[in-house]
Structure 1
Amino acid sequence: MTKLPTIGKAISRLEGREKVTGSAKYAAEYKVSDLLFGYVINSTVTKGKIKSMDTAPAKALPGVIEVFNHDNRPSTAWFDFQYADMDAPPGEVFKPLKNNQVLYNGQPIGLVVAETFELARYAAALVKVAYEEEDFTTDLEANTGKARDPKKGLATLLKPPPPKPQGDFEEAYNTAHAQAFGKFRHGTEHHNPMELFATTVEYLNKDKLRIYDKTQGTINSQMYVANVFGLKMKNVQVITPYMGGGFGSGLRPQYQLFMAVMASLELKRNVRVVLSRAQMFTFGYRPETLQETKFGADEKGNLTALYQKAIGETSRFEDYVEIVVNWGNMLYPAENVTLEYSIVPLDVYTPLDMRAPGGVTGMHPLEITMDMLAEKLHMDPLEFRLKNYTNIDKGSGKPYSSKELKKCYELGAKAFGWEKRNPTPRTTKRGNKLVGYGMATGMWDANRILGRAQAILNKNGKVQVNSAVTDIGTGTLTVMTQIAADELGLSLEDVTFSYGDSKKPFAPIQGGSWTVATVGPAVKAACHSLNKKLFKKAQKIKEELFGNADFEMAVFREGILTLKNNPQAEISYEEIIEANKGKAIKTTKSAMPNPLKTKYTKAAHSAAFVEVEVDEELGVIEVTRAVTAVAAGNIINRKTATSQILGGMIWGISKALHEETYKDNRFGKYMNQNLAEYHIPVHADINELDVIFVEEHDEEVNELGAKGVGEIGIVGMAPAIANAIYNATGKRINDLPIHFDKLM
């Protein structure tokens, strides 16, 4: 039996055994009888029109059922009205097979459906497509003159534009005692989770579908299918109990979902569509972004002027935006600030949120420029940040609901050994390796939105808690079970958290580090409400013991209800169920933030410290050790939270040193659409990593006092590595990723 309480403890994942033994089923692994397989045909040109599509050779193969394209696709409801999913940016959502227009390279233009996957793939290779090509533009750097302000929409609520300028930046910068400036770029990155995008559609009848989809939001995919194909929401069930990595790639429905449902409804058969690894590069990604900074400070080290400008890419049909430049004035209280953000529409697919979207992008130039300015002032980088520490978000003028960043600096620096840093670049060596220390600050919003949950006491005295939320591998199942168990006074073994099913109570897409803060309070509320129901029933069943007691006196522990002032008064859950004629007792509750309670800025903070070794002759870079100290409110599960931070740190190493999708703008095409050439870290690239959680109490963020940890682990790593490389080599490399050729 798991001892109560469990919140704050390091609990192993409850689904761990299923995952490591292979019994956990993913979207392409469900056994469905009489199954057809679809294979997507993608455009090989970047822009133009499809003149013709010769499908006869494919259709002639025995076992090929149909080849869908823009000429023979079934009619769909969405072509009559504008539909947007939960994560859709302003603009017009992409509609597969709408017409013969090609909007970007790799666009899905057809679907072969056959009796086997291998046959569908082979038949797709036989389809010959003739195009009328048009001129295209995919080069961000060559088109910065066409940058414009993004259109505003619902997404603006969660992705606000930069605040208005404050003070007189130009005057403050030009008269500053010390100045630092730079130009920065990071390339395109694709999510590349281990599990390929897949959808298995079980055709129940002409109006009813059961769908196993790779998604970060079962209800989002349900809404998408129902609205696009004109079905009733209740007749579309989307199931996703396991997901082999998301990182934001599953926030929007991807095109295999459309293709599989379209084919299933038209053929009245069960259909599965799985994308190949190369096809994983034909939808959303972290956009290439160009940035400029100018910071100024007085002789005492006070930041007086702050300028950051960012230009990102988007598609022609949607305005994808990120919060890139807002972070600087939230962290550092300069009086004269100008922040600019714009986008350039190109002939590409719409970018998509990728772990810490905008935060990891904007923190990189911000934290490097802070280091540059510290050097100009002859100050230690950590000392400079502490000099400009604030408990007020200067961008909004609001205080933070909690901010233990100073403690992050202190504990992180101590654990890392920051005091041993030699401030003079290129002076510390180990054999033929140059050694450098670097640090950076991290920050991420602590958001929450509406969530719902249901709690059911069954006749066996155990409780089932239901929510449509997914678990993308972050430990959601385990954490929600902990929250429910502690509220109910039960062991983990007596609580079942049932999730990943659109038939269950509403949960939003899982992203933005808001899942615990959004669904957790709903679970807590539902369980609290169930306790109240049990107490009322106990008052009726044993009126002599509980009739005159207040609910505040109730104690719920190990399946028994008793009273604080009378431990002898008790009733078991089984007794309550028996008196209820064996019927389950259930309750459903919602939880959401108070829209009037906006007087605080709510955020998680971190401090990253990194040591690198750089081969003096070859320029090969290795991150030998790193420490990240995190302040993220109440940590529900230290084991899963540590795993999240470690994952973010590893991805930060990848972003700084390995990861980029290369686009040849002559063809408008990504050239390294495979895991052999799209480089990510392997075990040999990762050395000693340490995570420290700083104690932080916050009664404003939510009922649990919890802030998300999914993103905060990555945001500070890339600039910390870049700063460490400078300390080792004396070279400032502002173009990510940093490869050895840039140091040669």
Structure 2
Amino acid sequence: MNVIGAPLDRTDGALKVTGRARYAADNPLPGLLHAVLVTSTVASGDIASMDIAVAERMPGVRKVMTPFNAPRLPQAGKAAAGTPPAGRVLNLLQDTEVHYNNQPLAVVVADTLEQARDAAAHIVIRYRTKTPVLDFAAARASAYKPKEAKDEPADSSRGDMSSTDGAAARIDTTYSTPLETHNPMEPHATVAAWQGDMLTLYDATQYVSGVRKTVAQTLGLQPSQVRVVCPFVGGGFGCKGSTWSHVVLAAMAAREAGHPVKLVLERPQMFGPVGGRPRTEQHVVLAARADGTLTSMRHEVTACTSFMEDWLEPCALLTRMLYAVPNQQTSHRLLKLNIGTPTFMRAPGEASGSFALECALDELAYKLGMDPVALRLRNYADTDPGKGLPFSSKSLRECYRDAAARFGWAQRNPAPRSMRTSDGRLVGMGMATTTYPANRSAASALARILPDGTALVQSGSQDLGTGTFTVMTQVAADALGLPPDKVRFELGDTNFPEAPVSGGSQSVTSVAPAVQAASMAARLALVKLAVTDAASPLSGAPPEDVDVVDGWLQRRSDPSRREPVAAPIARRGGQPVEARMSARPGDERKKFSMHSFGAVFAEVHVDPDLGEIRMQRIVASYGVGRLLNRKTAHSQLMGGIVWGLSMALHEQAELDLVSGRIANGNLAEYHVPVNADVGAIDIVVLDEDDPHINALGTKGIGEIGIVGVAAALANAVYHATGKRIRDLPLTVDKLLA
């Protein structure tokens, strides 16, 4: 039916544009109360006293929950800690310690949001303060080696780093990336409701099953006692992959108040309590022969984490696999600051690490007098040099060729400050490689063919606005043999078959095979029902000779013998035909290294007097397996590129080194791009066959779009100006310094 790959419009589009899509905070439960978090105003210490008397007497206030009166939880609320992505070390009012500024310290529950806010403002907290650790440079001396880097060793080594082996050029420099904070359109939100000992959570999450398990374990419940519902997410990007403090606090508050409770984080509360990208410093050393052949490479990463929990931005993982270099060392180190625990933020590790690695390669290319693309091709890795495995598929050479041609790279004058616009602005052109792992986890799905000839397919996955509703509808329709408008796909409910977190670019790779398997099993059951039914025109036909096409059961050998899919169901009394199936990865990761690849080319215009940087255009090519929907895929990749622009030119959470507060903790001062900041974006996805990743040959594309963009733009700024900026973001003050 050619359903897979078609640019089908979003099946949930009408709900969203008409306002009928119900997000977590939109659930109007009877007797709903409103909760507000009270957060700390110091970065380190403990609570000496908390005066809540005035707040408790204010109109509409139902409950003020503090560390002094909150219910005690099993293992002090740490029963599920240490199992990311869902399980984290939470602040659940079980003690009086303060680990960072903006830490949840109390919850106020009232009849209205305004009453809760007013009462929260009347709580008086006194602290016994300690001197916080906030300065990254000062804390560097206490850096330590973490246990691992995303299931790999924290450090790696191959070859002999002491060997010079005829190196003609060497780069030895340090790059840095700042604290960054998620700011999705929808802030974190939870509505909690109890019915006896059964808890229902309407939560803005990327992982309904993870929330259920974590909350149940934290509260001392069985998972069967917790239901989590989240059909729509207003942006996640990693921050909603974990179960944060406010989720459990909402459940605790609802039980204490005896009513459903809604808790929505205010925008400033997005800075700290729900993670973000940590600051990194990355020392990169490269050595190469005169022809560009890399002889050695070192990538040393130092990143910050909180005093509550180790969380690592694994920046050097892509360095281990991207280029063929015989001698290489990578390392990761952590240092603790009085900040909220960092978390996954679109392409964690790869986004930050590619900035350092790809900028260093650009510097090396200039030092060698070599084209940056030619340098990368000279060191092209046909197999994963870190794991010694062949790639399951790799189209990177084709990506370089395609993007360079469309960009007009050959017409670039490589000399810095050599190109200008007709009005005198400096023109810069830069490029970078992009890559991201092709991840996959176990998933389950249910497919049910209904008496009216339509089908219902369910999986407990999530749609972050990326198109999961739509692409799973396409996969199911193709497998069932039904038109897409006859298939309803449902997700976002722990009552549905379990699926993994919608993170790590794995939803399509994991859930689509389960949806396909369940749909094909239901289709086969329907075929068997028809061929064993004496009243069917298909009676007695071999099942393998019966197809389902556009809602009709028909014989391949004689298409005139056919009937609607609803007919055999009707003859057996209208009992639906259904199948539940699971799909999981096998041992393919022991045989292949699985990644997506791409090439990004960027052009910037820079005002020579004012230093204003404008992204003029980005041209990118990707090899990401088989696309399920070209329209939603294009949107995903474009969104990633825009975020890469944001990372390069805008985003930085400014940590006040006295108070520990994020000084720009709002959308007025935490800068992200608007339409006027975004130039032309030209994206091509190459046809790529990966027979090893899964039955559909699909790879995730949620994160690869951001990777390499910051480096391409930084390299373009150097080409335009001759000024190398190694610390993100690329701002006017750094350019004019």
Could you say whether these structures have the same fold, taking a TM-score greater than 0.5 normalized by the shorter chain as the test? yes
Match of 1:599 among 591, 611, 624: 591
Question: Does 2:127 correspond to 1:143?
Answer: no
The amino acid across from 1:233 in the alignment is P
Structure 1: 4+ residue segments shifted above 6 A:
none
For the residue of structure 2 that corresponds to 1:555, the secondary structure is strand
Distance in 1, Cα, partners of 2:77 & 2:71: 13
For the residue of structure 2 that corresponds to 1:734, the secondary structure is: coil
Say whether residues 1:587 and 2:587 are aligned partners: no
Task: Return 5+ residue gaps in structure 2 as ranges.
Answer: none
Tell me the CA shift for residue 713 of structure 1: 0.7
Q: Does 1:743 align with 2:713?
A: no
Aligned partner of residue 573 in structure 2, secondary structure: coil
CA contact (8 A) 1:291 1:365 kept: yes
Q: 1:616 aligns with which of 594, 608, 614?
A: 608
Residue in 2 that maps onto 1:567:
559
| CA distance 1:577–1:129, shift in 2 (3 Å) | same
Q: Is the 8 A contact 1:186 1:288 kept in 2?
A: yes
Q: Which residue of 1 aligns with 2:417?
A: 426
How far off its partner does 1:690 sit? 0.9
Q: What is the match of residue 120 of structure 2?
A: 124
The C-alpha deviation readout for 1:169-201, integer Å capped at 9, x for no partner, is 13237x511112221001000001111111112
Query: Which of 198, 212, 231 pairs up with 2:202?
Result: 212
CA contact (8 A) 2:436 2:703 kept: yes
Alignment of 1:227-266 (within 5 A): 227-266=217-256
Q: Distance in 2 between matches of 1:196 and 1:267?
A: 24
Q: Name the residue aligned to 1:66.
A: 63
Partner of 2:399 in structure 1? Answer: 408
- Tell me by how many angstroms 1:347 deviates: 2.0
User: Do the aligned residues in 1 keep the contact of 2:479 with 2:520 (CA within 8 Å)?
Assistant: yes
Aligned mates of 2:629, 2:135 — CA distance in 1: 44
Deviation at 1:60, TM superposition (A): 1.3
SS at match of 1:250: helix
Alignment-mate amino acid for residue 264 of structure 2: V
> Are the equivalent residues in 1 in contact too, given 2:85–2:241 (CA < 8 A)?
no
Alpha-carbon offset, residue 62 of structure 1: 2.0
For 1:261, what is the secondary structure of its paired residue? Answer: helix
The Cα shift of 1:80 comes to 7.2
Amino acid at match of 2:294: L
Write out per-residue CA displacement over residues 517-536 of structure 1, whole angstroms, 9 at most, x where no aligned residue.
00000000000111121122
Q: C-alpha offsets along residues 367-412 of structure 1, whole Å, 9 cap, x if unaligned? A: 1111111112211111111111121110111110100011111110
Query: Which position in structure 2 is the counterpart of 1:11?
Result: 8
1:280: Cα distance to partner?
0.7
Amino acid at match of 2:696: L
After TM superposition, the score normalised by the length of structure 2 is 0.97
Task: Give the distance between the partners of 1:171 and 1:558, measured in 2 at CA.
Answer: 65
CA contact (8 A) 2:532 2:540 kept: no
Q: Alignment partner of 2:158: what SS?
A: coil
Q: Does 2:450 align with 1:458?
A: yes
CA distance in 2, matches of 1:196, 1:315: 22
Give the percent of matched residue pairs that are identical in Structure 1 and Structure 2.
Answer: 40
Task: Name the CA distance, whole Å, in 2 between partners of 1:633 and 1:162.
Answer: 29
Which residue of the partner structure matches residue 103 of structure 1?
99
Q: 2: CA distance between counterparts of 1:345 and 1:98? A: 22
Corresponding position: 1:381 with 2:362: no
Pick the aligned partner of 1:719 from 702, 711, 718. Answer: 711
Q: Is the 8 A contact 2:77 2:218 kept in 1?
A: no
Once residues 227 and 514 of structure 1 are traced to their aligned partners in structure 2, the CA distance between those partners, rounded to angstroms, is: 25
Name the SS for the 1:171 alignment partner.
Answer: coil
Q: State the distance in 2 between where 1:544 and 1:275 align.
A: 58
**Which deviates further from its counterpart, 73-82 or 301-310?**
73-82
Match of 1:79 in 2: 76
Which of the residues 640, 647, 650 maps onto 1:648? 640
Q: Contact 2:461–2:502 (CA<8 Å) still a contact in 1?
A: yes
Q: How far apart, CA to CA, are the structure 2 residues paired with 1:233 and 1:576?
A: 39
Cα–Cα, structure 1 residues 702 and 163, in superposed 2: closer, same or farther, change >3 Å? farther
Amino acid at match of 1:655: M
Matched, 1:270 2:260: yes
Amino acid at match of 2:121: A
Confirm whether residue 308 of structure 1 aligns to residue 299 of structure 2: yes
CA–CA separation in structure 2 for the residues paired with 1:27 and 1:89: 18
Task: Please report how far the alpha carbon of residue 323 of structure 1 lies from its aligned counterpart in structure 2 after TM superposition.
Answer: 2.7
Residue 628 of structure 1 deviates from its aligned partner by 1.1
Offset of residue 85 of structure 1: 7.3
Which residue of structure 2 lines up, in the alignment, with residue 35 of structure 1?
32
CA contact (8 A) 2:86 2:211 kept: no
Q: Which amino acid aligns with 1:723?
A: N
Q: With the length of structure 1 as denominator, give the TM-score of the two structures.
A: 0.96
Question: 1:177-196 counterparts in 2 under 5 A?
Answer: 177-196=168-187
Displacement of 1:268 in angstroms is 1.6
1:594 and 1:428, CA in 2 relative to 1: closer, same or farther beyond 3 A?
A: same
Secondary structure at the aligned position of 1:618 is classed as: coil
After superposition, what is the alpha-carbon deviation per residue over 1:506-549, rounded to whole angstroms, capped at 9, x for unaligned?
01110111000000000000001111211221221149965665
Paired residues of 1:89 and 1:318 also in contact (CA < 8 A):
no
1:200 paired residue number: 191
CA distance in structure 2 between the aligned counterparts of 1:308 and 1:551, rounded to whole angstroms: 58
Number of the residue aligned with 1:658: 650
The answer to whether the Cα contact below 8 Å between 2:192 and 2:199 also exists between their aligned partners in 1 is yes
> Contact 2:272 / 2:341 at 8 angstroms: preserved in 1?
no
- Structure 2 CA distance for aligned equivalents of residues 593 and 282 of structure 1: 35
Matches within 5 A, 1:363-378: 363-378=354-369
SS of aligned partner of 1:736: coil
- Offset at 1:65? 0.9
* Residues 449 and 85 of structure 1, relative CA distance in 2, 3 Å threshold: farther
**C-alpha contact 1:85 1:252 (8 A) present in aligned 2:** no
Specify the SS of the correspondent of 1:28: helix
- Of 554-563 and 261-270, more deviation after overlay is shown by 554-563
Aligned-partner residue type, residue 125 of structure 1 = A
Distance in 2 of aligned mates of 1:436 and 1:618: 16
Question: Cα RMSD over matched residues?
Answer: 1.7
CA distance in structure 2 between the partners assigned to 1:26 and 1:596 by the alignment: 38
CA distance in 1, matches of 2:231, 2:85: 23
User: Is the CA contact 2:90–2:244 (under 8 Å) kept in the aligned structure 1?
Assistant: no
Secondary structure at 1:170 match in 2: coil
**Residue deviations 1:315-367, cap 9 Å, x none?**
12221123311212311100011111111122222110000000011111111
Does 2:441 match 1:449?
Answer: yes
> What corresponds to 1:417 in structure 2?
408
Please say which of residues 499-508 and 132-141 is displaced more in the overlay. Answer: 132-141
Distance 1:685 1:715, change over 3 A: same
Q: 1:449 to 1:338 in 2, by over 3 A?
A: same
Whether the 8 Å contact between 2:200 and 2:226 is mirrored in structure 1 is: yes
Q: Which stretch of the first structure deviates more once superposed, 102-111 or 554-563? A: 554-563
> Which structure 1 residue ranges, 5 or more long, are not aligned?
none
Quick one: structure 1 residues 619 and 544, their matched pair in 2 at CA, closer, same or farther if it must change by over 3 Å?
Answer: closer
Equivalent position to 1:23, from 7, 20, 23: 20
SS at match of 1:521: helix
Distance 1:85 1:6, change over 3 A: farther
- With 475-484 and 19-28 compared, the bigger mean Cα shift is at 19-28
SS in 2 for 1:715: coil
> 1:145 is matched by which residue type in structure 2?
A
Task: Give me the whole-angstrom Cα distance separating, in 2, the residues matched to 1:652 and 1:545.
Answer: 58
State how many pairs are aligned. 734
CA shift, 1:125, in A, is: 0.5
Matched, 1:639 2:635: no
Give the one of 147, 153, 164 matched to 1:172: 164
